[in-house]
Amino acid sequence: MRTQVAIVGAGPAGLVLSQLLAAEGIDSVVLEHRSREYVEARVRAGVLEQGSVDLLREMGVGARMDSEGLVHHGLELRFEAQGHRIDLTELSGGRSIMVYGQQEVVKDLIRARLKAGGQILFEAEAVDLLDLVSERPRVRFRQAGTDDEQLEADFVAGCDGFHGISRGAIPALSLTVFDKQYAYAWLGILAAGAPSNEELIYVRHERGFALHSMRSPSVTRLYLQVAPDEDVADWPDARIWEELQARLATADGFVLESGPVLEKGITPMRSYVVEPMQFGRLFLVGDAAHIVPPTGAKGMNLAVADARVLAKALASFYARGTTELLEEYSATCLRRVWRAEHFSWWMTTMLHRHPDDPFMDRLGISNLRYVIGSRSAARTLAENYVGLETV
């Protein structure tokens, strides 16, 4: 099997890249080791920056997002039992965010690619990347019980996430790894029922961080700070709701609406970056190259931004034979990645309790007071949260 660009992974990164390449007349084949049903159902991120929203519209896949997504112009920082609204749109010069689940973005992109005749091979597990420093790299994959299917291409895009094979195909001595693990995790639930607030609420409480979010007008997403070795079995639904209510409580009597818990799980907090994001003709895109704590809502948006940069570079190569943008791919992406890493670290350390580090605890409170009391500090949060136009 032969194509111009082999894409490993049918998450937002791989699907956005395939859609953008198709618009430039560039062929691609997407290999996804899970079934279509699985990738369309897995719940991940849910906040889209303004730039991601604009790109999805430009790509012709924004109609359902605009119909069903929730536009937010602000968020609330809540601490010491008081809420403080940050006007994202006013502070960022008119930009906003869209609450629209990652699985919905994936559904829209899959439908668009298949309708246009694009090739997505589901249940096709990439098992090896070969000849990456040649002009004919290959992906060996397993499908329908056959271990030696091969896809030959001009370039390979590793869009298969943190646990995929793409990053591991790069020799260790060719990469520099930056890894920070945090001393806490998130217990997250998806619950049936209307959200208790129209906008996101970020809470810093003496018992730990909490986040009130949503996925739709009838589905709420909520998180609690817990220890990284916490067992989800120790958190029955009643305990979760009790703890959420305690952390979200305000002096004026905020009431959290509860509902049936549809899903729960524990997510460790981590910051991770590899440099460079390319090796030979392999380009890492999204979580294959970098992870951010979810506090800043940057993961899916970084994947989309990487895909856009790579698509532009490949379009330049096929239209004019120039490799300059391909050679600059890693440096271009990493400027945005490190800005997002810093913002996510800042939000995370400001809002979480540090039980073993009272110094960091005091800094978090100081930072929050500065943000709510300084227009400049609030603008910094807003501009980063909605997504910087250029980095």
Summarised one tens digit per residue, pLDDT across range 194-208 is 999 999 999 999 999
Residue 389 banded pLDDT, cuts 50, 70, 90: confident
Q: Which fold has domain 5-71+96-178+270-347?
A: FAD/NAD(P)-binding domain (3.50.50)
To 5 degrees, how large is the angle CA 343–CA 346–CA 350? Answer: 145
In sequence order, which residues have a C-beta less than 8 Å from that of residue 63 and are 6 or more positions away? none
Quote the CA–CA distance of 19 and 109 in Å, as a whole number.
Answer: 8
Quote the CA–CA distance of 254 and 29 in Å, as a whole number.
Answer: 50
Q: What is the pLDDT of residue 21?
A: 98
3-state SS class at 168: helix
Residue boundaries of the structural domains of the chain:
5-71+96-178+270-347, 182-269+355-386
Q: What is the pLDDT of residue 43?
A: 76
Q: What is the pLDDT of residue 391?
A: 55
Q: What are phi and psi of 376, to 5 degrees?
A: -65, -45
Convert the pLDDT of each residue in 323-333 to its tens digit.
999 999 999 99
Q: Burial, 298: exposed, middle or buried (Cβ in 10 Å; 0-12, 13-18, 19+)?
A: buried
Which is catalytic among the residues 195, 212, 294, 329? 294
Which is catalytic among the residues 72, 205, 212, 352? 72
3-state SS class at 153: coil
Quote the CA–CA distance of 232 and 33 in Å, as a whole number.
Answer: 27
Q: Where would I find the H helices in the chain?
A: 12-23, 36-41, 50-58, 63-68, 88-91, 102-115, 237-248, 299-320, 324-327, 329-351, 358-373, 375-386
Per the annotation, the verdict on 107 as an active-site residue is no
Mean pLDDT within 303-318: 98
Quote the CA–CA distance of 21 and 311 in Å, as a whole number.
Answer: 6
Mean pLDDT within 358-372: 96
Q: How many CB atoms lie within 10 A of CB 17?
A: 30
* Structure letter (DSSP) for residue 305: H
Per the annotation, the verdict on 370 as an active-site residue is no
Q: What are phi and psi of 11, to 5 degrees?
A: -90, -170
Convert the pLDDT of each residue in 88-126 to its tens digit.
999 999 999 999 999 999 999 999 999 999 999 999 999
Average pLDDT, the chain: 96
**8 A C-beta contact, residue 49 and residue 97:** yes
Rounded percentage of the chain residues whose pLDDT exceeds 70 = 99
pLDDT at 44 over 80: no
Mean pLDDT within 282-311: 97
Per the annotation, the verdict on 272 as an active-site residue is no
* Structure letter (DSSP) for residue 146: E
Rounded percentage of the chain residues whose pLDDT exceeds 90 = 95
pLDDT at 145 over 80: no
Token code pair at residue 301: 């948006």
Mean pLDDT within 146-155: 92
Residue 358 banded pLDDT, cuts 50, 70, 90: very high
pLDDT at 305 over 80: yes
Task: Give the class (CATH, top level) of 182-269+355-386.
Answer: alpha beta
Q: What is the pLDDT of residue 355?
A: 84
pLDDT at 134 over 60: yes
Per the annotation, the verdict on 223 as an active-site residue is no
Q: What is the pLDDT of residue 390?
A: 64
Q: Where would I find the H helices in 249-298?
A: none
